[in-house]
Amino acid sequence: MQYIIKTFARILILSVPCFANAQSTYLPQTHKHQQLLERLEILLQKNPDLNVATVKPLSRKIAVRIGEYADSVQDASGNTLSMVDQHNLQSLYMNNSEWIGGDKTDFASRKNLWNTFYKTKAHLLEVDENDFFLAVNPVIQQQQSIENDNDQRIFLNSKGLTMRGMIAGKIGFSAYLTDNQERAPLFVQDRINRTQAVPGAGYYKAFKTTATDYFDARGSIDFTVAKYVDVQFGYDKNFIGNGYRSLYLSDFGNSYLFLKLNTRIWKINYQNLYMELAPQFVKSGADNLLDKKYATMHHLSINATKWLNIGLFEAVIFGRKNRFEFGYLNPVIFLRSAERNNGSADNGIAGLDFKANIAKKLQLYGTWMLDEFFLKEVRAGRGWWGNKFGVQLGGKYIDVLKIKNLDIQGELNWVRPFSYSHYDSVSNYTHYNQPLAHPLGANFMEAIGIIRYQPHPKWTTSARLIVWKQGLDTAGFNFGGNIFKLNGTRSVEYGYTIPSGVSATGINAQLLVSYEPKENVFLDVSLLIRRWKATELPSVNRNTSLITAGLRMNMFRREYEY
């Protein structure tokens, strides 16, 4: 697969001078302008650019275009955007200045260093010439935490570099590299020991006995092969969905090699994603070359009306002895047909999603993820194991009680037992010992509530509450919550509900205050309280209280949201 993708990428790259148009790099994971863009999606309602945001990351070019449209609406009405929104828009422009035409003097720093560094407020080094753009920044995150019932110091030490650029307005490139040392809270250490994976990371090694040491290296090259078709080849993460969680593809796990084609024409956005993944493995002391498995994913969305977007999703995860199945290269949706023609029964899922913007105040969204479904068995109501599906319903409401920049979000997620699992361990819906979709795997119900408030351009506060129930396995019995287990090892055929097995309840609540004294420099203080209890398995119970203070620069905040 890696050879195939690289060969295909070389062909495309060599063809770029013939037909490439201006190409943009993409906004990074959990970037600071994400909340602004989500607000604009609701405020502007009828801007077609906004309805491409189901697939993330979002192009910097489109993000700026959304901002410029918001500015034009503000100029016409005078009251669409708050003072904080207008400040955040200017920050969006400053951090994506390669797509800003005209005067950029407002982006210049009052003082620079040696007439080379920090000539602009957003970048350590910025080169903006006719045929070349380059932005380079340091990446830093230092966190110190105090945890109850833990005498050891909880910390995160991340440092690295990020860069992006554009050549001749045709080829975009980006890179991100950090070296990380982390001693996570005890409940995260439990997860690392259980899954042999650091959440969100790849290869790691032990550090100071109970801590971990790992690199996070990402990068991509991007170009447009036709007026409506963008191509990205890289090693990074993607997210498909409209919610806080995704039942399709989340950015919770490790990065992966991928080739992505995104076609946007008329009212349609169509994305093809080809991925090289790592199957489940047992970590040993020696370094070994991991086997490969592969995935193909398609997402098709259409603006059914000016306020309603509807999407279709399909994916197939498959294992061939380190080779790709060429039938899955077909970019046309309906992978199940290719799967059947191959004579195989790979792990395929499908889905339907929607997003509706209402009255410039409210957004409703939902997802129906379908792994396997038999209507006859559903009507029978016997809890057949093979009815594997998940549902997400959520809503976002902005400027609550007419308080500017006070926004709330609520979300419910249900996933039935054995969803995402397979009879072949290579083909389960995972990568590098981590779920590709929801962090909890399957056999759970979850409720999420989030309040975000930005009273001042430099101050942001948020409160998040996650409550869930999940069914756990007992010795010798598979109740469908662990998606790494073969679904053929199920205990019985019928009687499965949510949750099945030993019922466990979790609560994860966090209060966060962030201050941005300089562009892209944040001081964070947070309080996290987590409770995890399984009455019939007291050995897994754990209560956590965590107070954290941190400094970060040009980097998303490390979260423990499970």
Average pLDDT over residues 348-353: 95
What three-state secondary structure class fits 90? Answer: helix
pLDDT tens digits, 456-487: 999 999 999 999 999 999 888 999 999 999 99
pLDDT tens digits, 378-418: 888 899 999 999 999 999 999 999 999 999 999 999 999 99
Range of the domain at 182: 2-553
Q: In this predicted structure, what is the pLDDT of residue 250?
A: 97
Neighbours of 113 (CB within 10 A): 11
Residue 81 one-letter amino acid:
L
pLDDT tens digits, 223-282: 988 888 999 999 999 999 999 999 999 999 999 999 999 999 888 999 999 999 999 988
In a domain, 561, yes or no: no
> How much of the chain exceeds pLDDT 70, in percent?
91
Average pLDDT over residues 359-372: 95
Residue 74 burial (10 A CB sphere; 0-12, 13-18, 19+) = middle
Q: In this predicted structure, what is the pLDDT of residue 11?
A: 45
Q: pTM for the full model?
A: 0.94
In a domain, 403, yes or no: yes
In a domain, 562, yes or no: no
The more confident residue out of 239 and 20 is 239
The more confident residue out of 91 and 333 is 91
In a domain, 307, yes or no: yes
Average pLDDT over residues 125-135: 94
Helix (H) or strand (E) segment spanning residue 323: none
**For residue 105, is pLDDT > 60?**
yes
Calpha distance 416→295 (Å, rounded): 22
What mean pLDDT value characterizes the chain? 91
pLDDT tens digits, 189-214: 999 999 999 999 999 999 988 999 99
Average pLDDT over residues 441-448: 98
Q: In this predicted structure, what is the pLDDT of residue 337?
A: 62
Evaluate whether 160 touches 179 at the Cβ level (below 8 Å): yes
Listed ranges 113-117, 416-420, 486-490; the one with the highest mean pLDDT: 416-420
Evaluate whether 130 touches 160 at the Cβ level (below 8 Å): no
Q: In this predicted structure, what is the pLDDT of residue 507?
A: 98
In a domain, 559, yes or no: no
In a domain, 383, yes or no: yes
In a domain, 542, yes or no: yes
Complete DSSP assignment for 230-286: EEEEEEE--EESSSSS-SSB-SSS--EEEEEEEEEETTEEEEEEEEEE-------SS
**For residue 4, is pLDDT > 80?**
no
Complete DSSP assignment for 394-430: EEEE-SGGG-TTEEEEEEEEEE-TTTT--SSGGGSSE
- Please give the tally of structural domains in the chain: 1
The more confident residue out of 375 and 442 is 442
CATH number for the domain spanning 314: value is: 2.40.160.10
CA separation, residue 27 to residues 4, 274, 447, 475 (Å):
27, 20, 28, 45
Evaluate whether 1 touches 323 at the Cβ level (below 8 Å): yes
pLDDT band for position 49 (cuts 50, 70, 90): low
Q: In this predicted structure, what is the pLDDT of residue 339?
A: 58
- CA triple 91-97-99, angle to 5 deg: 120
pLDDT band for position 361 (cuts 50, 70, 90): very high
Q: In this predicted structure, what is the pLDDT of residue 109?
A: 92
